Amino acid sequence: MAIKEVMVIGAGQMGSGIAQVCAMHGLEVALQDIAPEFVARGFSRIEESLARIVKKGGLSESASRETLARITQTTSLDAVASADLVIEAAVEKMDIKKSLFMQLDGLAKSDAILATNTSSLPITEIAAVTSRPERVIGMHFMNPVPVMKLVEVIRGLQTSEETYRVVSDLARTLGKTPVEVHDYPGFISNRILLPMINEAIYCLYEGVADRDAIDTVMKLGMNHPMGPLQLADFIGLDTCLSIMEILHEGLGDSKYRPCPLLRKYVAAGWLGKKSGRGFYDYRVEAK
């Protein structure tokens, strides 16, 4: 099965990045979100990203224009009818994803593949609400999508070998490195990353060290490009909490218990960079 047309559901940071990479590699892309302003914002993000690549000499002006011309903006799901692959990058809530996949299943052609960019939710459960569970798969891109090379390709219990092969081949076509992962809470990336972040928050909560000390130790001692508390801010503390809750519930081990300080920050609306304040205050601190 050749993938020529892709529909991306959700025009946020992840969805717009996925749409950009697909269009840069010659695919026709429909970028969808629930409101025109969300789609417009996502398209503007793509324009800005391409402009930076052109400025650095990584892309010609004409190639940038051709990339943008391959992206159609829409608030309707109707474009699903011609898509070979749908990549859902909507909010990380199971009820929303299930509702979307039920709709997509009814609108998409019978041989279309339905993929989700979920960072932690079970693929098997999402697939079960469709009539094509063998054609449902996880395709977890890393942020920022145009830069990061990894794609976790997650098999649900019902995912067919053909679906896995097509999606893995597409990831390589997009210049990414696909890694096969089976359907367990957090997959590989977040099962390892989020407990580390959660433990860093516990260190702050228990007074082991202050924020800057914790991040400096991990940057200089472990050669991480960014400290875990700053990384949590960039991911979004609400997202970090959600993933830790999924790990805790799905694996039933107390080592995945979200730190009370993380819960407190989320309750206060301190969600990290996107809200202006998390472990760092982005209103006054230049990071």
Q: Which residues are annotated as catalytic? A: 119, 140, 152, 190
List, in order, residues 6 or more apart from 80 with CB less than 8 Å away: 7, 86, 104, 107, 108, 112
Q: What is the DSSP letter of 129?
A: T
Structure tokens, 264: 């407190």
Residue pair 135/108 in contact (Cβ under 8 Å)? The answer is no
Q: Are 279 and 233 in contact (CB under 8 A)?
A: yes
For residue 120, give the DSSP letter: S
**Are residues 173 and 25 in contact, defined by beta-carbon separation less than 8 angstroms?**
yes
Residue 168 in 3-state DSSP? helix
Residue 247 amino acid letter: L
Say if residue 269 is exposed, middle or buried (CB neighbours under 10 Å; 0-12, 13-18, 19+): exposed
